[in-house]
Structure 1
């Protein structure tokens, strides 16, 4: 008679994948809301809202892991969950963004480029400085580059969030008394 319970099947990977999908879907909806409302996600509530959502998702994933497991979570397990969240979320949202930019809204990159130029002009940069900066920016503003950097920086960002959140959410297993 073998019984499999959820606690036996619960791993950092399974928890991270579950919450990575949730975070990815939320990220896609967040992107669409901001883009359709013609708001800039790189400033203000767009930027800080993304980080806040990340902290909440990682916190909820850690809580889920402890409540549905054995009640404990080491610091390393917390960071491991965060890695899986970052990987899954970044792949989902970056692939969506790639498809969106490549096939749905081809003017998205042009709009981002114009915003970058306007920001540099507002800072008082010369035409020569702007031209030189835009050569560098253009290397990273293709759908393929945005896909790759979205995945890489999404994973790194979520691991950083996980490093911070795990400090608070960890609950190490007590050492047995000798």
Structure 2
């Protein structure tokens, strides 16, 4: 198999898997009320799961490429694979999250705002009304912003975790002198 075809097939396969598993996870946590609940333990477990999922997807993608490429994988190629898997998976996940917030559960954003206001009251902070917020702050409470932040988070994770996985899975040609 040619290298560019191998690269694109691995990236498409693992990007699609990463995106679909991510969307299923987002739907489950949103429907079960785990996201935005203010529960610290649930937040930590959620982060650990998403980081573990990203690591697994990047690891298996680079491993598949390496095994199909005569057991060779440079650091740069591994990082490129991880970034592309992250881009595809992040785009699918962001679109899925947007569809969920905009069409399936339209009260999702409002529930998060209410949970934030409750936490603010609990810790003695002022409780501003929605009308008192500056206009630009209301943008940060829209499904579009949430979807964009999901995509940005996945890309940031792809940078960090992708570098680690590329370093772990790299395998260069061994030269004998």
Give the shorter-chain TM-score range.
0.7 to 0.9
Please list, as runs of the form range in 1=range in 2, the aligned pairs for 1:76-155 lying within 5 A after superposition.
76-122=76-122, 124-127=123-126, 138-155=138-155
Query: What residue in structure 2 maps to residue 35 of structure 1?
Result: 30
Contiguous gaps of at least 5 residues in structure 2: 37-41
Report the alpha carbon displacement of residue 170 of structure 1 after superposing the two structures with TM: 1.0
Q: Report Cα offsets for 1:108-129 as digits up to 9, x if no partner.
A: 001111222233344x242068
Taking structure 2 as the reference length, the TM-score comes to: 0.83
Contact 2:120–2:126 (8 Å) recurs in 1: no
Report the alpha carbon displacement of residue 32 of structure 1 after superposing the two structures with TM: 1.5
Taking structure 1 as the reference length, the TM-score comes to: 0.82
Contiguous gaps of at least 5 residues in structure 1: none
Report the alpha carbon displacement of residue 9 of structure 1 after superposing the two structures with TM: 2.6
Q: Distance in 2 between matches of 1:54 and 1:110?
A: 29
Report the alpha carbon displacement of residue 6 of structure 1 after superposing the two structures with TM: 6.4
Q: Secondary structure at the match of 1:158?
A: helix
Query: What residue in structure 1 maps to residue 39 of structure 2?
Result: none
Query: What residue in structure 1 maps to residue 10 of structure 2?
Result: 15
Q: Secondary structure at the match of 2:16?
A: helix
Alpha-carbon spacing, 1:14–1:155, altered in 2? closer, same or farther (3 Å): farther
Query: How large is the Cα RMSD of the aligned pairs?
Result: 2.5
Q: Secondary structure at the match of 1:10?
A: helix
Q: Distance in 1 between matches of 2:128 and 2:166?
A: 42
Number of residue pairs matched by the alignment: 169
Greater shift in the superposed pair: 52-61 or 34-43? 34-43
Contact 1:117–1:130 (8 Å) recurs in 2: no
